[in-house]
Amino acid sequence: MPSSLQLETRPAVDLPQLDLDPYSIASLMDPYPLHEQVREAGPVVYLTPWQVYAVARYEQVKAVLSDHDTYISGAGVGLTNFNLEPPFRPRSLVLEADPPAHTPCRAVLARVLSPTVLRNLRPVFEAEAEALVDQCLELGAIDGIKALAERYPLKVFPDAVGLAAEGRENLLLYGDMVFNANGPRNELLAKSTERVGPVTEWIMRRCQRDMLAPGGFGAQIWEAADRGDITHEQAPMLVRSLLSAGVDTTINGLGNALFCLATHPEEYAKLHSDPSLARYAFDEALRYESTAQTFYRTTVRDTVLAGVPIPANCKVLMMLAAANRDPRKWPDPDRFLIERRPAGHVAFGAGIHGCVGQAIARLEGELVLSILARRVRRIELIGEPTRRLNNTLRALDALPLRLIPA
Ligand code: OVV
């Protein structure tokens, strides 16, 4: 047999084929055993249940995030390949777009959420955090999710966008559905699609100019269209991005941080004695319990990653939460340590699609945790936390806590 034929029929270089399902109930409840299996099987693996490539090591996740020309977002950042199946809603102009179309849209959002803007918002966000923590302290026993992790972002973020108070719980249903939609068409997606019914129309109506208070993020997006930075057709779609990505994410970031602190009293004690650790504690919680567990890319051409060939038009699953616990990158990765400096974690992604709202997310996290640290001596877990399963998000439904005042 001629050697060239042998070469052609040789299987791809060491591509482990794993019969593992990240969307099984067991894995959604506790994803970390599967993360370790994928990470240790090789730098690139193939998950047979969904027929996708997957990377779970920090180095390869970072490589895929960084090479946005090869690993594109325009074919969707979930399991569904938009080249083969249409998206369930009109594509996001930032999340599900590539340069050059992506660039001006991203720039508008980056300007609206700039450090200067956030510096001005800080006193407002701080006063809200103080009021809410005081209310929780008066109650003593609270559900940390409903009373704090949900209430805070649901107040401060839509206020900053310029959204009226009525109907904000719709944002929770919408976020739940958008993040479920990045996974397979399973029971979770079916249920949240059912619940979301009339909400989509409500959301799209809120993106219109007349619904957005002057001076808010929403109004500023429309002003960017007046300046010609984007078109007036694009403006409501970018407001939709804020409403899609700005609430459920921070809610669960905060909820997971409260969970980490309640289950690691020795770490909470450190935070209580030095509230200036709040910013690091929030980032460590994001590393340890990454809110957005996964995102996908799609190969635009044949490529090679860590010596493994990947053909064109394939979905590549980036296991962000697994990369954030890769022992090749992090000493003692399975320990929650608030004095760690977890710079470089990929809970916000990285590169041109890295979370454009990460500064506002960190502002919310830092403020809530630092005010808790000052006013609460101890956080006691007084019941079993329950999970809210979502195809993308690491989320809690309930977190029974008692707050012991300082
Ligand atoms: C779920 C999600 C994350 C980030 C961005 C968007 C959505 C968007 O709609 O642009």
Q: Specify the CATH number for the domain of residue 381.
A: 1.10.630.10
Q: Which residues' Cβ are closer than 6 Å to ligand 1?
A: 92, 94-95, 178-179, 241, 244-245
Q: Would you state the pLDDT for residue 12?
A: 56
Q: Which residue's alpha carbon is at the smallest distance from atom 9 of ligand 1?
A: 241
Q: What is the pLDDT of residues 338-363, one digit of tens each?
A: 999 999 999 999 999 999 999 999 99
241 CA → ligand 1 middle, Å: 5
Q: Which residue's alpha carbon is at the smallest distance from atom 1 of ligand 1?
A: 245
249 CA → ligand 1 middle, Å: 10
348 CA → ligand 1 middle, Å: 12
Atom of ligand 1 nearest to the CA of 238: 10
Joined together, the tokens standing for residue 332 give 């003692």
The set of residues, in sequence order, having a beta carbon less than 8 Å from that of 390 and lying 6+ positions away, is 28, 176, 179, 180, 188
Q: What is the pLDDT of residues 136-174, one digit of tens each?
A: 999 999 999 999 999 999 999 999 999 999 999 999 999
Joined together, the tokens standing for residue 279 give 């910013």
Overall size of the chain counted in residues:
406
220 CA → ligand 1 middle, Å: 18
What gap in Å lies between CA 260 and CA 283, rounded to an integer? 12
Which of 171, 234, 241, 348 should be mutated for ligand 1, with most atoms under 8 A from CB? 241
Please give the C-alpha separations between residue 161 and each of 74, 339, 403, in angstroms, as whole numbers.
26, 33, 31
Cβ atoms of 28 and 7 within 8 Å: the answer is no
271 CA → ligand 1 middle, Å: 32
Q: Phi, psi at residue 85, to the nearest 5°?
A: -140, 140
Which parts of the chain register pLDDT below 50? Answer: 1-11
Cβ atoms of 35 and 319 within 8 Å: the answer is yes
Q: Which residue's alpha carbon is at the smallest distance from atom 2 of ligand 1?
A: 245
Joined together, the tokens standing for residue 157 give 């973020």
54 CA → ligand 1 middle, Å: 21
What gap in Å lies between CA 306 and CA 10, rounded to an integer? 18
95 CA → ligand 1 middle, Å: 5
The set of residues, in sequence order, having a beta carbon less than 8 Å from that of 18 and lying 6+ positions away, is 37, 38, 41, 45, 46, 47, 48
The set of residues, in sequence order, having a beta carbon less than 8 Å from that of 236 and lying 6+ positions away, is 204, 207, 208
What are the DSSP E strand ranges found in 48-200?
A: 52-55, 71-72, 141-143
Nearest to 52 by CA among 176, 177, 186, 183: 183
* β-bridge partners, 52: 47
The total number of structural domains in the chain stands at 1
Atom of ligand 1 nearest to the CA of 94: 10
Atom of ligand 1 nearest to the CA of 96: 10
Domain, as residue range, for 184 = 4-405
The DSSP symbol for 246 reads S
Which of 65, 89, 178, 200 should be mutated for ligand 1, with most atoms under 8 A from CB? 178
Q: Would you state the pLDDT for residue 14?
A: 84
The set of residues, in sequence order, having a beta carbon less than 8 Å from that of 122 and lying 6+ positions away, is 363, 367
Please give the C-alpha separations between residue 297 and each of 42, 60, 316, 322, in angstroms, as whole numbers.
19, 13, 5, 16
What gap in Å lies between CA 295 and CA 318, rounded to an integer? 5
240 CA → ligand 1 middle, Å: 8
Joined together, the tokens standing for residue 33 give 């055993």
Contacts 24+ apart (CB under 8 A), 333-337: 334/32, 336/260, 336/263, 336/264, 336/267, 336/284, 336/285, 336/288, 337/267, 337/284
Q: In which element (H, E) is residue 153 found?
A: helix 151-161
The one-letter amino acid at 234: Q
Q: Which residue's alpha carbon is at the smallest distance from atom 4 of ligand 1?
A: 245
Which of 73, 79, 80, 92 should be mutated for ligand 1, with most atoms under 8 A from CB? 92
